[in-house]
């Protein structure tokens, strides 16, 4: 066992008994929304995973330990501490561990810790990707590199629509990451069900998704698989409204010189303000939807 890794008793038992487990990230708790809504959402996501037949394993770094499976008190702790918790990607792990600090795990870091623990399925909101203007800034999320090398199936609502979706898909193709549309042939765009970009394959049942990922694992192919699950129709936002809000937020971020790991939290918060909170409500619903699907896929896997 990795000396830096702590797996909760519940998650450890489930893994030993071969029961389905779903990894959940913690950036959404510390950086995704305000307290106490962040804690309520995190606990609801865990409940939804259980209701769909799997064991939730919320992942974070607490006191320099990689944690797979958090207690309610630990989730509350991260929620209250909020932005004071480091948003931790792959590059941050060595220093956070060595200094005994806390970290809220991004998609990339959640995948790393899930793989260490033996968890194969992970539910999140949306992945990071190639940022707009990346041909100049080279701002490309570490999530894409992690998908290229870490054997975890990631269920999301597509790439965040603040990104350059076309370049994100091109990057994933180059890295050999299969992009699956769950019940759709078009890439969902986080807040909306459509983007104008196609996915690699459409699969329509948890059984089909699990079989494809099992084949990938059995062949020893490196990397993960991205399953894009459209936001439920009743919570999907008007593309014109959300795209206008995104354009305004991106322009303000550029004007303020906001870059790097601060970019996504700033843009999501700004979009929430511009849309009067509608984007946050949609964000929560798509996370719930992804958690349910991930649990069903984990059960078949």
Q: Report the pLDDT value the prediction gives residue 276, as an integer from 0 to 100.
A: 67
Strand partners, 60: 67, 104
Residue 32 pLDDT grade (very low, low, confident, very high; cuts 50, 70, 90): confident
Q: Report the pLDDT value the prediction gives residue 245, as an integer from 0 to 100.
A: 78
Looking at per-residue confidence, does 100 or 283 come out higher? 100
Q: Measure CA 34 to chain center.
A: 18
Q: Measure CA 158 to chain center.
A: 10
For residue range 13-30, list pLDDT tens digits in order: 999 999 999 999 999 999
Handedness of CA 179, 199, 59, 49 (dihedral sign): negative
CATH classification of 125-301, choosing from 3.40.50.720, 3.20.20.70, 3.40.1790.10, 3.30.60.50?
3.40.1790.10
Catalytic entry in 160, 261, 270, 272: 160
Q: Measure the CA–CA gap between 185 and 176, rounded to whole angstroms.
A: 18
Which residues lie below 8 Å from residue 237, measured CB to CB, with a gap of 6+?
191, 192, 275, 278, 279, 282
CATH classification of 1-119, choosing from 3.40.1790.10, 3.40.190.10, 2.140.10.10, 3.20.20.140?
3.40.1790.10
Q: Measure the CA–CA gap between 108 and 106, rounded to whole angstroms.
A: 5
Upstream peptide bond of 36 is cis (omega within 30 degrees of 0): yes
Report, as an integer, the average pLDDT of 70-76: 98
pTM check: above 0.75 = yes
Looking at per-residue confidence, does 208 or 243 come out higher? 208
Strand partners, 131: 163
Catalytic entry in 25, 46, 74, 76: 25
Cβ density class 27-60: b for 16+ within 10 Å, e for less: bbbbbbbeeeebbebbbebbebbeebebbbbbbb
Q: Measure CA 24 to chain center.
A: 8
Report, as an integer, the average pLDDT of 205-227: 97
Characterize the bridge pairing of strands 55-62 and 65-68.
antiparallel
Percent over 90 (pLDDT), the chain:
72
**Does 160 participate in catalysis according to the annotation?**
yes
Neighbours of 166 (CB within 10 A): 13
For residue range 43-56, list pLDDT tens digits in order: 999 999 999 999 99
Cβ atoms 227, 159 nearer than 8 A? no
Q: Report the pLDDT value the prediction gives residue 273, as an integer from 0 to 100.
A: 76
What are the start and end residues of each CATH 3.40.1790.10 domain in the chain? 1-119, 125-301
Q: Report the pLDDT value the prediction gives residue 249, as an integer from 0 to 100.
A: 78
Residue 167 pLDDT grade (very low, low, confident, very high; cuts 50, 70, 90): very high
Residue 251 pLDDT grade (very low, low, confident, very high; cuts 50, 70, 90): confident
Task: State yes or no: pLDDT of 38 exceeds 60.
Answer: yes
Q: Report the pLDDT value the prediction gives residue 278, as an integer from 0 to 100.
A: 67
Among 30-39, 101-110, 142-151, 204-213, which stretch is predicted with the lowest mean pLDDT? 30-39
Q: Report the pLDDT value the prediction gives residue 261, as an integer from 0 to 100.
A: 66
Q: Which of 225, 294, 282 is nearest to 48 (CA)?
A: 294
- Average pLDDT of the chain is 92
Task: State yes or no: pLDDT of 1 exceeds 60.
Answer: no
Which residues lie below 8 Å from residue 287, measured CB to CB, with a gap of 6+?
28, 41, 45, 123, 124, 125, 157
Task: State yes or no: pLDDT of 291 exceeds 90.
Answer: yes
Q: For the CA atoms of the chain, what is the radius of gyration?
A: 18
Cβ atoms 149, 112 nearer than 8 A? no
To which H or E segment does residue 5 belong?
strand 5-7
């Amino acid at each position: 066992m990795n000396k830096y890794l702590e797996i909760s008793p519940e998650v450890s038992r489930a893994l030993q008994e071969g029961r389905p487990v779903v990894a959940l990230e913690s950036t959404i708790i510390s950086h995704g929304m305000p307290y106490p809504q962040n804690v309520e959402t995190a606990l609801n996501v865990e409940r939804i995973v259980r209701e769909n037949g799997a064991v939730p394993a919320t992942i974070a770094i607490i006191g320099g330990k990689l944690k797979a499976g958090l207690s309610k008190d630990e989730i509350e702790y991260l929620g209250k501490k909020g932005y004071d918790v480091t948003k931790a990607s792959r590059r941050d792990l060595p220093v956070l561990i060595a200094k005994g600090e806390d970290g809220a795990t991004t998609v990339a870091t959640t995948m790393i810790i899930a793989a260490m623990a033996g968890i194969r399925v992970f539910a999140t909101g949306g992945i990071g990707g190639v940022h707009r203007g990346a041909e100049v800034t080279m701002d490309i999320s570490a999530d894409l590199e992690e998908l290229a090398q870490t054997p975890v199936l990631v269920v999301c609502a597509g790439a965040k629509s603040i990104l350059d979706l076309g370049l994100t898909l091109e990057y994933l193709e180059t890295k050999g990451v299969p992009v699956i549309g769950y019940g759709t042939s078009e890439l969902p765009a986080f807040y909306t069900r459509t983007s104008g970009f196609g996915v690699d394959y459409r699969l329509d049942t948890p059984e089909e998704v699990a079989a494809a990922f099992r084949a990938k694992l059995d062949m020893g192919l490196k990397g993960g698989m991205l399953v894009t699950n459209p936001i439920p129709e009743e919570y999907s936002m008007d593309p014109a409204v959300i795209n206008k809000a995104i354009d305004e937020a991106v322009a303000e971020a550029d004007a303020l010189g906001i870059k790097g790991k601060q970019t996504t939290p700033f843009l999501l918060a700004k979009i929430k303000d511009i849309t009067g909170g509608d984007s946050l409500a949609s964000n929560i619903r798509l996370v719930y939807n992804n958690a349910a699907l991930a649990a069903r896929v984990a059960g078949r896997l």
